[in-house]
Amino acid sequence: MRTRLTLTAGGLAGVLAGATLAASVSPTGTPSDGPDGTASTVASGSSGARPDDHGTPSWARQGGYPDQTSDGVAGEQAARVPSFLRGGPVTTRQRTSAIAPGVSLVRWSQHDARGPLRLQLLVVDTDTPGIQLDYGAAGPVPRTAPVTTILSRDGAVAGVNGDFFDIGDTGAPLGVGRERGRPVRHAPLAGWNRAFVVAKDGSLDITEVPMVARVREHPDLTITNVNSPSVRSGGIGIYTAAWGRTPGRRVTDGQRKRVRVVHVRDGRVRSNRLRMRAGRPLKGVQLVGRDDGARQLRRLRVGSAAHVRWWLAGGPRMAIGGNLYLIREGVQLPIDDREMHPRTAVGIDRDTGEVLLLTVDGRQSFSRGMTMVELARTMMDLGADEALNLDGGGSTTMAVRRAGGLRVVNSPSDGSQRSVPNALEVLYSPGG
């Protein structure tokens, strides 16, 4: 039977099925919170690597996408303890606080046969007047910044880091992104389209969000992405002013031959070249083709009409990508119960309409991190009927607004906030 989350004046009750409260006990090695809630102790056996320690991660060098974290750090392997010997987690030091009307923060420590953990949960009641969830950006699509900087741009009261991203090169997110009231910022045609969305009717969902793109006068062009870190071989990528400046060969993975660039502005083809120029102001739309995509773009003659359009299927108001479904229609999906990392996840409780934003500290002596199976089970125990894994590792960050400004309330494993391209933010307007 699934245990539902209950917030009480005494703290967190029944967070995990079978949890035993022991408020006077704390895991060995847990540091006291610093001024921003961070700590940098690295667990024995974990790499503790920072992005600049390992450069471009192996998944990027191999032309693929990450399945665990953007930083590509190999996770510590969980101890092989049979499930019947693990027992239930022992929960300690639980603390609950109100961040804004409809927004509560719960923090607690727990330990089991595999070791200690420290977790942070934002519970967001989206029925509360004035509460909204939105996509928060660092600026142009490839720009990165600390989560607190991203949240402060929009006056958010709380939030967590968002999508996986091209940490070793462009900095651009890998998946789907749309901010309320703005055009689609970035999206692939398919392959990295799982996202948390606010639908056209205002309902919440975690689902596949395909991208659709067309050049009206050339409907057979193979458009594969909008403002993505790279254009797929054989495809055509759209790059817009949201990217900032012309990307150059970074988005063709350095490929020089069989590449073509078409500049479209005000519905007309302004140039069609073989040479890619980087760092120029991007006005209008740039179409970048590789291999067969480059061959297709040869047909677009300078001066001819070309109306480029792109959108997300279903027309969601807001979308932010992740990678793996943790829970789908009440069913737990992950099977990896070995590799442990810091984690960030978003879930929806269909019974209450609440959104659950969870961070799990890891790669540190006082918190080992979670496997995908453990993360999914935790989200289910918290009440989620749908849940999505967001970027983890050194990216995992949760911040809330306190008197004096935004404060990080988890312990980022790099020892400080990592710069990331986007965040899932909680906004509150008293007049809303």
Is the full-model pTM beyond 0.85? yes
The pLDDT confidence band at residue 52, using thresholds 50, 70 and 90, is: very low
Given a cut of 80, whether residue 148 has pLDDT beyond it is yes
pLDDT at 55: 59
The candidate with the shortest Cα–Cα distance to 421, out of 207, 205, 153, is: 153
pLDDT at 62: 59
| Distance separating alpha carbons of residues 17 and 4, to the nearest angstrom | 9
Whether residues 202 and 227 share a domain: the answer is no
Q: Does 227 reside within a domain? A: yes
Q: Does 353 reside within a domain? A: no
Q: What is the pLDDT of residues 302-358, one digit of tens each?
A: 999 999 999 999 999 999 999 999 999 999 999 999 999 999 999 999 999 999 999
Neighbour-count burial for 92-117, b at 16+ CB within 10 Å, e otherwise? bbbebeebbebbbbbbbbbbbebbbb
Whether residues 172 and 241 share a domain: the answer is no
Whether residues 252 and 169 share a domain: the answer is no
Instruction: Provide the residue type at 127 as one letter.
Output: D
Whether residues 187 and 292 share a domain: the answer is no
Q: What is the pLDDT of residues 244-300, one digit of tens each?
A: 999 999 999 999 999 999 999 999 999 999 999 899 999 999 999 999 999 999 999
pLDDT at 60: 66
pLDDT at 61: 57
Whether residues 52 and 12 share a domain: the answer is yes
Q: Are 172 and 228 spatial neighbours (Cβ–Cβ below 8 Å)?
A: yes
Q: Does 39 reside within a domain? A: yes
Q: Which structural domain range is residue 13 located in?
A: 6-73+80-89+125-210+314-339+383-428
pLDDT at 82: 77
Whether residues 17 and 37 share a domain: the answer is yes
Whether residues 187 and 219 share a domain: the answer is no
pLDDT at 372: 96
Given a cut of 60, whether residue 38 has pLDDT beyond it is no
Q: Does 279 reside within a domain? A: yes
Whether residues 146 and 85 share a domain: the answer is yes
At 17, give phi and psi (nearest 5°).
Answer: -60, 125
pLDDT at 403: 86
Q: Does 134 reside within a domain? A: yes
Q: What is the pLDDT of residues 376-414, one digit of tens each?
A: 999 999 999 999 999 999 999 999 999 889 999 999 999
Whether residues 266 and 320 share a domain: the answer is no
Q: Are 16 and 89 spatial neighbours (Cβ–Cβ below 8 Å)?
A: yes
Q: Does 171 reside within a domain? A: yes
Please state the rounded mean pLDDT for residues 196-209: 97
pLDDT at 67: 79
Q: Does 113 reside within a domain? A: no
Q: What is the pLDDT of residues 221-236, one digit of tens each?
A: 999 999 999 999 999 9
Q: What is the pLDDT of residues 67-109, one digit of tens each?
A: 799 999 999 999 888 777 776 778 877 999 999 999 999 999 9
Q: Are 157 and 427 spatial neighbours (Cβ–Cβ below 8 Å)?
A: yes
Q: Does 109 reside within a domain? A: no
Query: How confident is the prediction for the chain on average, in pLDDT?
Result: 87
Number of structural domains the chain divides into: 2
pLDDT at 36: 37
pLDDT at 178: 98
Whether residues 305 and 388 share a domain: the answer is no
| Distance separating alpha carbons of residues 182 and 240, to the nearest angstrom | 13
Whether residues 171 and 228 share a domain: the answer is no
Q: How far is CA 337 from CA 280, 371, 414, in A?
A: 47, 5, 23
Q: Are 252 and 261 spatial neighbours (Cβ–Cβ below 8 Å)?
A: no
pLDDT at 323: 95
Whether residues 215 and 204 share a domain: the answer is no
Q: Are 290 and 233 spatial neighbours (Cβ–Cβ below 8 Å)?
A: yes
Q: What is the pLDDT of residues 2-32, one digit of tens each?
A: 444 444 333 344 443 334 333 323 333 333 3
Given a cut of 90, whether residue 416 has pLDDT beyond it is yes
